[in-house]
Amino acid sequence: MLFHHCASEELRRTVLVDLAGQAHRQNRLLAAMPPNTLALLEPDLREVSPEQGAVLLEPGDLIETIYFPLTGLISLMVIGKDGNFIETSTVGREGAVGLHSGLSRRRSFTRATAQIGGKFSTIRAARFEHIVNGSAAIRDVILRYTEVLWAETQQIAACNAMHGASARLCRWLLQSADRIGSNEVPLTQEFLAQMLGARRTTVTLLAQRMQAKGLIRYRRGRIVILDRKGLEACACECYHVMHDEKLPRALGVNL
Amino acid sequence: MPMYYFNLNDDDVVVDTDGTDLPNVGAARIHATGVARELTSKGGGILTQSWSGWTMSVRDEHGTELFSLTMSDFGDGPEQ
């Protein structure tokens, strides 16, 4: 009986550890790490669920925590002198925020906000740096991800300069849906307007038209993508260029 | 502050369902101009390819039109 108890207890623990590992692997970067490398991080990974709108980092903040979204979405934003801001990147389950602080202590360049609340795996930066020091595999993931993010940032800079609000809104909805793994994007028009650097009326009119064409359904604070192909046809090419599977391949990066 | 509504008209109507709180009609004019620039800049995308025949009708909360803009007066270059 005692034996059975121990065996089942051991089994239970193994299952729990596996389940925890499975949960962390919803994040592409954690999934990209070899199992024995992920095992090094696992004891220090904590799951948190920040609320929608929670500010995780302000520009200049010392990065104390690294965030690996499992669900939800983090926005990186550059803040203007007048307090206005524009989104420069989004990070969902394909990425992480603060990852480069694994190389050494770093400060945030942008504001990072939990734009869509969800579950994030986190690790303290000091602990992460210590583990990275002994792991070439994690350093490699950091470098590969930094390359992809660098390319994406260049594309977004070009997109903001080259493409109109309509094409960028379509691109943004598709990319966000991919990164949260759901066709339901819980965001207000007010927020979308800030992201696009446009007035809310502009987003309302575009969303009305998109709804009339059957591409989306929207109510206050929630947009549902109904016709993905139709939306892709209205998005700028940046959606495909920055696609989370295509961009690493285009760069020859294995992620 | 009063609410102002910024509808688009061509053959069809795109209704500003939300409206915007603004202090007066002068502010509504500035807002309308800004929205028109944002919509026409670098192509009309899902709204239109040409803007020919499109107007923005700015209304108060009773639905009375205060003024309108010709959308083709805005924009900054060739369509996408």
Cβ A184 vs Cβ A222: under 8 Å: yes
- Considering only CB atoms, B20 lies closest to which of A164, A200, A210, namely A200
User: CB of A223 within 8 Å of any CB in chain B?
Assistant: no
Phi, psi of A99 (to 5 degrees): -60, -40
Q: Are A130 and A138 in contact (CB under 8 A)?
A: no
Give the CB-side neighbour count of residue B80, counting CA atoms within 13 A: 23
Has residue B79 been placed in a domain?
Answer: no
Judge: A204–B18 Cβ closer than 8 Å, yes or no. Answer: yes
For residue A10, what pLDDT band results from cuts at 50, 70 and 90? low
> Rounded to two decimals, what is the model's pTM?
0.87
A210 touches chain B (CB under 8 A): yes
Is residue A112 within 8 Å of residue A101, measured between CB atoms? no
CB contact under 8 A, A209 and B39: no
Query: Which of B4, B46, B49 to mutate against chain A (most A CBs within 10 Å)?
Result: B46
Q: Write the pLDDT tens digit of every residue in B30-62.
A: 999 999 999 999 988 998 888 989 999 999 999
Cβ atoms of B45 and A206 within 8 Å: the answer is yes
Q: Kindly determine whether residue A164 and residue B41, on different chains, have CB atoms separated by under 8 Å.
A: yes
Which of A81-85, A99-103, A201-205, B59-63 has the lowest average pLDDT? Answer: A81-85
The enclosing H or E element of A48 equals strand A46-48
Angstrom distance (rounded) from CA B35 to CA B44 = 12
Candidates A162, A204, A209; nearest CB to B46: A209
Q: Are A78 and A110 in contact (CB under 8 A)?
A: yes
- Angle at CA of residue A169, ends A196 and B67, nearest 5°: 75
Range of the domain at B33: 3-73
Confidence band of B20 (pLDDT split at 50, 70, 90):
very high
Tokens for B48, please give them: 């239109």
The percent of residues in chain A predicted with pLDDT above 70, rounded, is: 92
Query: Which domains does chain A possess?
Result: 21-158 (2.60.120.10), 164-235 (1.10.10.10)
SS3 A77: strand
For chain B, the domain total comes to 1
Looking at CA atoms only, how far is residue B52 from chain A in angstroms?
17
In angstroms, the CA B71 to CA B36 distance is 6
- Per-residue pLDDT of A19-29, as tens digits, reads 566 889 999 99
